Amino acid sequence: MTGLNPIQPVDLTSPAFKANPFPFYATLRQHAPVYALKAFRGQMTWLVTRYDDVAMVLRSEDFAKDMANAKTPEQLRRAPWMPPMFKPLTRSLLFLDPPDHTRLRALVHKAFTPRLVEQMRDEVHTLAHQLLDAALARGGPFDLIESYALPLPITLIGRILGVPAQDNDRFHRWTQAFVTIGAGGIGAMLKVPAIMQLMNYLRRLIRERAHSPQDDLISALVQAREDDDQLTEDEIVAMTFLLLSAGHETTVNLIASGTLALLENPSQWHLLQEDPALIRTGVEELLRFVSPAETATERYARRNVEIAGTTIPRGELVLAVIASANRDESRFPAADTLDMTRQDNKHLAFGQGIHYCVGAPLSRLEGQVAINALIERMPRLRLAVPPEALRWRSSFVLRGLIALPVTPGRERPG
């Protein structure tokens, strides 16, 4: 079967599609595992949906992150235009191939260490309970995203980076504009000034830390060296934006969509209530089940590549659909069932291969602490609106709610 086929095309960014994309992906896995449609800025986009194929795309050198390493000169001339002000952001791990990616990742790992992340556990716990105290003090229903899932990672990443306390309000405002930019259009353009202010602020902070290092991640990034090599200012800005987007967004969606999944599956909520130690396997299952990043970020075929009998032409955009791979019945028994005790759970929520998410340990830690704290403090939490009234964000790669209205409740969920 070819990638161009009679299956009805969908708008991957539409809120209605985001509410439940899984049946569409199940159809693709069965009938068109490599499926072409015009999805991203009018480009022909190839969706790869089966687990083994998605894992292969994530690892394979046949697919480039930097389009200049894949497209022909003619294709590059037709590529979407990027404003010059945003070009420094292409120096992040998301947009580079080896050897640039190898160099950058080695330097970043010298600063963003597992020890740094694990040191945050007590701080995550304290902040989670402070946010829940504030939500309970207000009384009545509240938006779990606005009051909890969003401020938790934003506050923590600010502290990790070394944002001074007096700048927190500005930093939160700029960061929220960046991470809620969505699928583009007029709304995205209105947020450009805030994003430019954030970039300028980070440059000032980087220069300050270069002269007066402190115990924070920006200082560590400034000081990270490999022989005579070190990160440029543009690379540190790009790395910071990567942490704010990929790592932060995954955490917000993990906490919010994960909570929704638990409320819709009360037996699994009760399991965590009775045995909080299940949270480690539980968070892995929530990552698999809700897939906060619906697809991996863009890749481009370096040559004509055949997958599942379909040829993807050189230079064209390929999306490895993580949300589909994580529900592939051939890899996960009862894939559409939430099971907090699931073992052998090799989900692809954080990617695979050399582009595996550098912020995965932090996202896992925040998800584990935040969800356990929520269940402990609000054991009778329930939705404050019908599930069908929930609104999903219009986004391309990510899948997340706009708001999650909940009430502490008087009865156990379900």
- Render pLDDT for 25-67 as a digit per residue (tens, 0 to 9): 999 999 999 999 886 666 789 999 999 999 999 999 999 999 9
Q: Where are the alpha helices (DSSP H) in 95-191?
A: 100-111, 114-118, 121-138, 144, 151-161, 168-179, 186-190
Q: Which residues contact 307 (CB under 8 A, 6 or more apart)?
A: 33, 34, 48, 53, 56, 57
Q: For the residues of 301-321, what is the DSSP string, one character each? A: ESS-EEETTEEEPTT-EEEE-
Domain extents in the chain: 15-407
Spatial distance between the Cα atoms of 242 and 230, rounded to a whole number of angstroms: 18
41-47, long-range: CB within 8 Å, 24+ apart, which pairs? 41/80, 43/80, 43/316, 43/317, 44/316, 44/317, 45/316, 45/317, 45/318, 45/319, 46/3, 46/301, 46/312, 46/316, 46/317, 46/318, 46/319, 47/295, 47/319, 47/321, 47/324
SS3 49: coil
Instruction: List, in sequence order, every beta strand (DSSP E) within 200-321.
Output: 225-226, 229-230, 299-301, 305-307, 310-312, 317-320
Q: How far apart are the first and last CA of the chain?
A: 44
The pLDDT averaged over each successive group of 10 residues in the chain (414 residues) is 61 91 96 87 87 97 94 85 71 83 81 79 94 92 95 87 84 70 49 83 92 89 78 86 73 96 97 96 98 93 96 96 98 98 96 88 93 96 96 87 88 44
Find out if CATH 1.10.630.10 is the number for domain 15-407: yes
Q: pLDDT tens-digit profile of 11-25?
A: 888 999 999 999 999
* Dist. CA 204–CA 182, nearest whole Å: 27
Is the previous residue joined to 193 through a cis bond, with omega within 30 degrees of 0? no
State both tokens at 52: 């083994």
Do 404 and 27 meet the contact criterion of CB atoms below 8 Å apart?
no
